[in-house]
Structure 1
Amino acid sequence: MHADPTQPAFSDLTRERPYMHLWASRVFGTAAMQMLMVAIGWHMYELTSSAWDLGLVGLYQFAPALALALWAGHVVDRHHRGRIVAICLAVQGVVALVLFAAEASHQASRGLLLGLSLVLGAVRAFQMPAQQALVPLLVPPLALPRAMAFSSAGTQGAIIGGPALGGLLFVAGAGAVYGASLLLFVVAALLVVRLRYVQPERSREPVTVQTLLAGVHFIWQRKTVLGAISLDLFAVLLGGAVALLPIYAKDILHTGPWGLGLLRSAPAVGALVMSIVLTRRPVERHVGRTLLAAVAAFGVCMIVFGLSRSFTLSLIALAVSGGVDMVNVVIRQTLVQLETPDEMRGRVSSVNSIFIGASNQLGEFESGATAALLGPVGSVVAGGIGTVLVALGWVKLFPTLAERDRIVAAPIRKE
């Protein structure tokens, strides 16, 4: 990481008021969603005492997000992105309101929780690409790496703090969590409504198979973008160990539930620290090699975690894995946004979200399947080795990505 006097300073970024409004909205909205998911999960288990139903909550959110992703990208590229984000936050607020009313009237049920999970999944299909594609409209291109890092810092903080706050409020009952989530969603929506930015002129071509698949075609043609997105897909698919953390906590590290909580939070803590570092000192040179090295380092961390019998070492390995993964996230998201023309950013971001969702869901399945064959230690270590090999292989498969020097390929200068 190098300091470059031509790069906008962090203080310049904070003076971009529309971006700061979006940043605050994402923090409030993410915290509200995290609190809502804590409450829904706990509420579902209170109602049914079924682990299967807990799994269905996640599946009911993933399925519509996957099914609607391509159409959502088309909508994001044809309509006002700020309004789309505001509407999504408002709908999530309505979900929290319905749950608050159902809890107050003792009408909450398994069917209601699953039905609202479908709504939340459908909303996220539109919100995620709209938020990602909105950021480049609010900051100059050279400020985008800092903006992405600062956004990630806020998101990670909300991911850590949201569940903790939700757990504390649950002492007063599920209604308290739903009410607090509603308040945060309202604040987040109002912040986005206040956004003022130049909305580029966009064509309103009809929805066709060609326009829906335009994002897929664009990514396939742009090898730098394809390499960055597919690298993350295979790294998370092979190297993720989240699904096996309960086994490690109970049978290998012998820590119990409190240790499981710390193990699950360690990557987020590492990611938060690294995102703060990247906000102050973004990666400006040798970004391709840095991206590949970060993914390889993630694999090494998984190998260390898989072999560790020390709780402290395991926590450190997971925290470092979260930190290097944040380097991957920031570089990848910035590259994808800068390499994509504005009229395509929604559809490309939607395809990216499919890759991310698939890697997380399939990664958990892969971990479980290989653990059944190789045991938990063999599964994690093999996955870590596979991630390192993928990073090395991508050097040959995507040389334009490996050789990428600056995050902004052609620095913009005013004559």
Structure 2
Amino acid sequence: MTATTKSPWGIDRPIGVAVLGMGNVGTEVVRILREQPQDLQARVGAPVVLRGVAVRNVDIDRGVPAELLTTDAEALVARDDVDLVVELIGGIDLPRQLILAALNAGKSVVTANKALLAEYTGELAAAAENTRADLYFEAAVAGAIPVVRPLIQSLAGDRVDRVVGIVNGTTNYILSAMDETGADYAAALAEATRLGYAEADPTADVQGFDAASKAAILASLAFHTRVTAADVYREGISRITEEDLETASALDCTVKLLAICERVVGIPGEPLPEDGGKERVSVRVYPALIPRKHPLASVTGAFNAVVVEAQNAGRLMFYGQGAGGAPTASAVLGDLVMAARNKFYGGRAPGESVYAELPIAPIGDTPTRYHVNLQVEDRPGVLAKVAGEFAKHEVSISTVRQEGHGEGARLVVVTHHALESALAETVTALANMESVTSVTSVLRLEGTEE
């Protein structure tokens, strides 16, 4: 047995680690565990020993001793010499079963599984609480970018009002390529696939599912309220066109897929109800226009960034590589060191905080600004009729301009803040107007002071 310094509080032997899964991230985690044992021991206070790695096929050469590989993940998790489990399998059902088994046995868990956490954080947190085990998941949101721990610990004494970010590298690469080169969506997606930024099946990324899972986690942490993926309003980027990017450029804006988590009460700039209004949480993912002067507009390629707005700390921005084997492994190892240190010294990570129990605001009750592009008949009175329809549904217009003539005439309308439900009613009415040929696109406008 590897010798270790005697711990006055925790265990008095090496910290045994089991890694479940050896894809891109798992391979990097295993490599670091095997190549940097002295550094890890110095940081933890005790040796950190890799006990085994669960894989689907032990016959593939993975560059690790064969005796470390197993296809029996359950048996590996149950071993007495395993104190800490790193789950990097992906999916939901099997990881959920294995993580619960580890936590119920008092073993700490580190995971990067955002889909699982977005659905079952409450169940996993309860299991960790029952046995006083640790559950760490920094790598589940934005790869190497440290944003989970600041929300849990650094801002624990502050009130977070808003979290907005670019949390999916695939969609950010696609939209950046469309903006910079004028490529259409299909061409940009094909290039992202060729470069390895997009999966063979990109649905989870381009339809916003991945970002929605991450938004649910961020909102839960920021607002001390349990939020699941089902609570997140979601739209993807597959309908974004070159014309949308051209329109954005004319407004000195760009288009980004944003994950937005915020406290909402009423409509910005309007008086609150007599009762003061009930605070709720709005969580949504959709493509939106943002001004080029906004800090998120400069986040290009496959990079991620998250902006946190707190009452006392002000605006904080976290930026970096949001995916990839080595960057994500960095976040996993950071969690692993914390969990192993707690095992050795008898400490414990902060548990789930859901004391606020704020209600979730439906998308219809969520205020934002909008950019509406209309194909219209080129004749007198059309602008007045269109403006009247906005006014009828209490959607205030900020600017309106006409582009083109004849059959190519169109109106571009930018609104002040309005409720989603009111805007939806307006768009439906506009689409049925005789003088409106079509509602070409509706994009939200975020990141403005109005």
TM-score of Structure 1 vs Structure 2, range by shorter chain: under 0.3
Larger helix fraction of residues: 1
Larger strand fraction of residues: 2
TM-score, length-scaled by structure 1: 0.28
